[in-house]
A = this chain, B = another copy of it.
């Protein structure tokens, strides 16, 4: 009636509990014929390991470390909040968080080197792209620690997985939306970036321009405005651009500094027909802007899902379980005023 246990499997396979355990946990000293008999019995009974009991007996704690950039970036703070508030949502896993100065390769490399491999089973890191970081990351792997990159990837490094969204797709999604929003109204589109030095911003821009050029050629893409994720700079520069180009039909803000966009719109708005606006990251401010109609859509990645995926991937890596190739792929969410959570 209830789920079969290893006792049932042992009885059916005609072997002892010890042998079942040896098979189940990949220990040595079992002939392949016996392994087969056990496997058959398991299949016949539909046995499934009781993970709760297993972890309880194993009393293992996967010790995971998250390394996040410090600073006021609301998405990073969202990740951190998720980690600290729900640190105990993951049974048999202890999670610690360390913050390092943002965009500081040396500091990040140092933090990676400082990881105590004897007290840490896995690390999730929001990476910056530089040689020292790559080297520190490789060394961490050599010391036997599982490593995944989070939010920002470091392809062709020795990280084992990436957890985050596909930023090219995110840019394409924004263009699909904005292009449709502006259809029939030829004009200019402004891209508000943080810094083109950041890989993910460059990727978003790439995807955005791919789609816009191919499918909405009536829109002219202005040179991107680098706001350094600072709302004051964004507000000032965007205001100037809007004044200089009276027929801007759309704005795509692909980094932070979204509050600056709202401010520039508030100042220069009123007169002209409001341009359509698509921004990244749902925050208190972008939510408000959606509600009052100054933004049209927000492209979002959910910090909770991101953290959950990172934990799950790291757990799999640490415990030697296979990881599905797209386990780290986070979905790109689209919010309008009417489907806000």
A interface residues, Cβ below 8 angstroms from B: 2, 48, 50-53, 55-56, 59, 61, 88, 91-92, 169-170, 172-173, 175-177, 180-181, 183-185, 207, 211, 276, 296, 329, 331-339, 341
Contact = CB atoms under 8 A, between A and B. Distances in A.
Contacts of A61: 2
A14 B211 CA distance: 68
Nearest to A48: B88
5 contacts: A50-B56, A51-B91, A52-B55, A173-B338, A176-B338
User: Which of A88, A177, A211 has the most chain B CB within a 10 Å cutoff?
Assistant: A177
B336 A341 contact: no
Nearest to A55: B52
Nearest to A296: B180
B48 A52 contact: no
Nearest to A54: B52
B331 A341 contact: yes
Task: Give the top 3 A-B pairs by smallest Cβ distance, nearest first.
Answer: A52-B52, A172-B338, A334-B334
A265 to B, nearest CB: 16
B339 A331 contact: yes
Contact of A336 (B91, B329, B334): B334
Contacts of A55: 52
A330 to B, nearest CB: 10
B52 A336 contact: no
Given A333-B333, A336-B334, A338-B211, A91 B184 contact: no
A2 B55 CA distance: 14
Contact of A181 (B56, B180, B337, B341): B180
A176 B53 CA distance: 50
Contacts of A338: 169, 172-173, 175-176, 207, 211
A234 to B, nearest CB: 24
Nearest to A53: B56
A180 B329 CA distance: 29
A158 to B, nearest CB: 28
A88 to B, nearest CB: 6
